[in-house]
């Protein structure tokens, strides 16, 4: 791995036109605008990128369009988690061919009753064996309904080609256990801006944060404040971001994130159905919250 996985990384949304057609021009425009901020890199085809809504050919288009727009000195992560091991391997290899620096692999979950520790370890190790690029584990219980234990994650992490974890569960005790036991070269990243500062305090190396799509400056300020010893400033900024982060993640999700992007001069646009746009009432609440947090000018 040539680039160290650390810092603030936004999981990019995937732009669509009004007819739900893939819009790679606006994907690249969003990347160029975000490159004005000191972000470490970008994740494409994550949960915020509506990976499950895309065809195989669309995934390929997104990967190549993103790589063309992301500067070589910034990290490009690619979400490649599918429901079968074979499909995950195929998408991971496609990401490598497109120039991704590493793959972020969400665990299979459709047959979650069968996803024992042994099954998950076997899945991840097979993917890592077949991958030309390093692999990061992605634990996101709110979407998968499966919260991988620290023991499972640590066993998965024993593979030499598995270099990190994005954890969106928010269990800081578990994250601290993993950062302490996995070794100094294994990177743990917060999966939500709502607990970025606490995660940094127990050893996380950064965050892959939906909020960084609309508040890159503020997310970077929390990260920089922690590592430069400006803890009171980092704490104040963390507290300011909590409400806005909740609206564009657990509460209203990708439709709210895209609406916020439109408010801030990025291209958000529609989601793919069955996801629906937020209501006018919700949009008003979102706008007021973004203004109160300092993300959107009043």
Instruction: Provide the CB-side half-sphere exposure for 6 (13 A, CA).
Output: 13
- Which of 2, 6, 117, 166 is an active site residue? 166
Query: Has 166 been annotated as catalytic?
Result: yes
Q: Do the Cβ atoms of 22 and 44 come closer than 8 Å?
A: no
Alpha carbon of residue 20 to chain centroid? 22
d(CA 143, CA 57): 24
**Paired strand residues for 9:** 208
Do you find a cis peptide bond into 274, omega within 30 degrees of 0?
yes
Sign of the dihedral through C-alpha 67, 68, 71, 72: positive
Report the sign of the C-alpha dihedral through residues 19, 23, 27, 32, in that order. negative
Query: What positions carry a catalytic annotation?
Result: 166
């Amino acid at each position: 791995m040539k680039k160290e996985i650390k810092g603030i990384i936004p999981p990019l949304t995937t732009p669509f036109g009004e007819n739900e057609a893939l819009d790679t021009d606006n994907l690249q425009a969003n990347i160029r605008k975000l490159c004005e901020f000191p972000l470490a890199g970008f994740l494409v085809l994550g949960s915020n990128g509506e990976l499950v809504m895309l065809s195989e050919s669309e995934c390929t288009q997104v990967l190549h369009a993103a790589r063309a727009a992301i500067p070589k000195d910034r990290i490009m992560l690619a979400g490649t988690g599918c429901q079968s091991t074979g499909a995950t391997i195929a998408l991971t290899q496609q990401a490598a061919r497109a120039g991704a620096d590493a793959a972020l692999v969400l665990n299979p979950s459709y047959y979650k009753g069968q996803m024992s520790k042994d099954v998950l370890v076997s899945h991840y190790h097979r993917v890592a064996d077949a991958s030309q690029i390093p692999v990061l584990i992605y634990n996101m219980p709110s979407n998968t309904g499966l919260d991988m234990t620290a023991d499972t994650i640590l066993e998965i992490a024993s593979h030499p080609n598995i270099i990190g974890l994005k954890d969106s569960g928010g269990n800081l005790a578990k994250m601290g256990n993993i950062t302490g036991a996995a070794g100094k070269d294994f990177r743990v990243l917060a999966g939500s801006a709502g607990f970025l500062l606490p995660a940094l305090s127990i050893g996380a190396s950064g965050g892959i944060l939906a909020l960084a799509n609309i508040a890159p400056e503020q997310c970077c300020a929390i990260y920089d404040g922690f590592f430069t010893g400006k803890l009171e400033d980092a704490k104040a900024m963390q507290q300011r971001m909590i409400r806005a982060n909740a609206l564009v993640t657990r509460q209203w999700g990708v439709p709210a994130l895209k609406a916020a992007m439109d408010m801030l001069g990025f291209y958000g646009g529609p989601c793919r159905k069955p996801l629906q746009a937020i209501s006018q009432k919700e949009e008003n609440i979102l706008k007021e919250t973004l203004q109160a947090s300092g993300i959107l000018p009043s």
